[in-house]
Structure 1
Amino acid sequence: MSNADTNEAVQGELVTTGTEALEALNRSEVDIQIATAHRFPRSVDLFQKRATALACMTKAIAGSMFYSVPRGGKRIIGPSIRLAEVVASTWGNLRCACRNIGEDDLTVTSIGMCHDLETNVAITMEYALRITDKKGKRYNEDMIVLAKNNASARGLRNAIFRVVPRAYVDEVCESAKKIAVGDGATMVTIRENLLKWFADQGATEAQVLHLIGKEGVPDIDTNDVIFMRAVATGIKQGEQTVAEAFGPVPDPRKKARISPLNDSVGAADKPPEPEEAEEPEEPEEPEEAEAIAEPGPDLVTDCTVALAEAGTLLEIQAVRERFVGAKPGPSAEDLKVIHEMCDRANKTIRAGRGEGSNAQ
């Protein structure tokens, strides 16, 4: 046998031996974990007490245990990634992992794995997340990294909730909802705090009331508060954006130009009344908030619409430059409000990347 053949044989033998040794090591680690799990089995009663205690520690923590997203024209409320972390740590005897497995022009795909060492039930879940905006434009590199992290977290969440019985998870989630809402004595404060938080994200009071289907703030009840907290958690955890949750800001000037006949029965069957000649100075505004046009007289409202559609720091900067340099120029008061809204939008984007304070 030649030296070349000998070297190839030795190298092949070493590779095979190394692979088998690694597999044996992994098997031994899992076997030890399974044996330990059988020596120290979990207590479901203890799990429920610990998970509920962690999930309901404060109102802020309780509010992060569930989220809401729009699906098929409906709003879905479900247990969040934060609740999955609580469940995994208190259920015990679990092996969990997640990683990215693919990326193409439209989506990134991650996989989450959860293995119950006591029952030997192991489930893996894939999660694909879109990396393009509504116009089909691909995200920048920072946003793609954020999307990969979100996809991994969601895949892990889904795997954990497939292994741990959902009946136990839902019970903890319901307890968290009750703590998040509070009692009747604090309902006024809870409403104000929620509306203020949404306003800081760029959503108006009218948009919030339209989303929950109520006429005024005093009409907001306990179920509405649960739903509003779920929407807020969905925004914090990246399940949806403010624009996706609320849509564009309604323009009160358009509503004022609608004929009173449209409010009567059967008005839907009639064509809209033409604009009156007394208002020629008001240009017709575009239907979509993201259309590029010269700002109208209500710069603050138009700026709010544009910021609701902005998803990156560059887009927010473009909005700032567009409205600060508008002709005719904004008043000093409007200029201050425009800068404040843009600063809040920048803060929200950075918080989503982990550059600011931790918001989901």
Structure 2
Amino acid sequence: MSNPNRIATINLPAPSRVGQATAVEQSRAVAEVHAAMVMAQQVPRNIDQAIAEMERSCRQMGLAERAFYAFPRGGQTVSGPSIHMARELARCWGNIQHGLHEMRRDDEAHQSEMQAFAWDVEKNTRVASTFIVPHKRAANQVLTDMRDIYENNTNNGSRRVREAIFAVLPPWFVERAKDLCNQTLEAAVEKQGLPQRIQEAVKAYAGGGITQQQLEEKLGKPVAEWDAADVTQLDVLFRSLRRREVTKEEAFPSASQKVTPDEIAASPSAQPPAPPTPADNPAADTTDSPTPQQEDPPAAPQSADVDTEQILALIVGEWEARGGTKQQLTGVFRKAMGVGHREAAANKLQAFLAQLREGKHQPAGGAK
């Protein structure tokens, strides 16, 4: 009687002429995959043991401190579980293979073709992604050193490996691990003493040229109101800065990047349009109109300047109260009004201000 759990040998087609080394490598790869599937069926994972192993790992500070990443994007901070957590959870869950392959490197085009994958051998669920990694850094700096290229490929590939691992793991398993790691970090803060940890966090950031005021603006509350969760958030961001996943300028934009009333009021849109001339309006009766040599044109009313400046100041105040930046306001205004704020007339400014107060426009990551 045949064994229903027995996996049949797979006979793959082979080219007619191959070298000895190629044939050996092909046979080894097939045997390795076959053995992994057989072992996964013969020794299936024990979910209770996997959960216990995961909980034990997530209660260790060594993992909890490296379990999360944080970086700014679109005016808000993006955070989530890191590649270190993904690898540990794959180990705890068991019968999962994952990795990163450089399939092709083109030194002339300065790019590499990479493949990241994760494979649940027991359930035969495999997730893979193939992508191109340019050999470049910020500001289009081309990389030529072999070590720089390797590190660049690894950094880009690790993010795909992380997502592939999370794609084959049960969502509840990942969420439980995230909660436990957060609890471990917050418990460490409370054990050491919240005031002392706050002082250490401020001092650590000060060593990198980041002031307490910038930290307060980042968290949206004064230091006296910080709690364990806030300190944990700062710890995660500090480790991301130390690992160079994010720059100081990205995490803490300078005051020059924020919108000020003077900047917008000084724009051309703050000036009222010039009165039409006879050439602009040929249908008008110009019989009794004075020529430029006879009389200067009447001065534009000054109240338009005052009204425009007031509207701009109100818009800026409303926007900054929601945590918005200069780039965000420019983009949102143009999308809503169909014109940039520097070219907008007073009526468009008033319409935008009304929509802003109604809550129709919100900066990304700002107050809701």
TM-score, normalized by length of structure 1?
Answer: 0.59
- 1:149 match: 154
- 2:125 match: 121
- 2:165 match: 160
Q: Partner of 1:23: helix, strand, or coil? A: helix
Offset of 1:65 from its aligned partner? 0.5
Deviations 1:95-148 (A, max 9, x none): 222123456868665321111110011111346666655543435635443222
> 1:271-310 to 2 correspondence within 5 Å?
none
- 2:102 match: 100
Deviations 1:55-104 (A, max 9, x none): 3212x531210111223322222110110121122111122221234568
Among residues 192, 203, 219, which one is paired with 2:210 in the alignment?
203
- 1:225 match: 231
Q: Confirm whether residue 213 of structure 1 aligns to residue 220 of structure 2.
A: yes
C-alpha separation between the residues in 1 aligned to 2:206 and 2:135? 27
Q: Confirm whether residue 247 of structure 1 aligns to residue 253 of structure 2.
A: yes
Deviations 1:12-66 (A, max 9, x none): 95517765554333222211111111111112221122122123212x5312101
C-alpha separation between the residues in 2 aligned to 1:217 and 1:268? 31
C-alpha separation between the residues in 1 aligned to 2:203 and 2:112? 34
C-alpha separation between the residues in 2 aligned to 1:110 and 1:129? 7
- Could you say if the C-alpha distance between residues 91 and 56 of structure 1 is closer, same or farther in structure 2, counting changes exceeding 3 Å? same
C-alpha separation between the residues in 2 aligned to 1:30 and 1:78? 32
Q: Partner of 2:151: helix, strand, or coil? A: helix
- 2:194 match: 187
C-alpha separation between the residues in 1 aligned to 2:65 and 2:153? 24
C-alpha separation between the residues in 2 aligned to 1:200 and 1:149? 29
Q: How many pairs are equivalent?
A: 249
CA contact (8 A) 1:113 1:123 kept: yes
- Could you say if the C-alpha distance between residues 189 and 96 of structure 1 is closer, same or farther in structure 2, counting changes exceeding 3 Å? same
Q: Which structure features the higher share of helix residues?
A: 1
Structure with bigger gyration radius: 2
Offset of 1:229 from its aligned partner? 2.7
- 1:288 match: none
Letter in 2 for 1:246: F
Offset of 1:219 from its aligned partner? 1.9
- Could you say if the C-alpha distance between residues 144 and 84 of structure 1 is closer, same or farther in structure 2, counting changes exceeding 3 Å? same
CA contact (8 A) 1:66 1:233 kept: no
C-alpha separation between the residues in 2 aligned to 1:213 and 1:107? 41
TM-score, normalized by length of structure 2?
Answer: 0.58
Among residues 304, 313, 318, which one is paired with 1:269 in the alignment?
313
Offset of 1:150 from its aligned partner? 0.9
- Could you say if the C-alpha distance between residues 99 and 244 of structure 1 is closer, same or farther in structure 2, counting changes exceeding 3 Å? farther
Offset of 1:199 from its aligned partner? 2.7
- 2:181 match: 176
Offset of 1:239 from its aligned partner? 2.8
Offset of 1:180 from its aligned partner? 0.8
Gaps of 5+ in 2: 1-14, 264-308, 317-368
C-alpha separation between the residues in 1 aligned to 2:151 and 2:70? 20
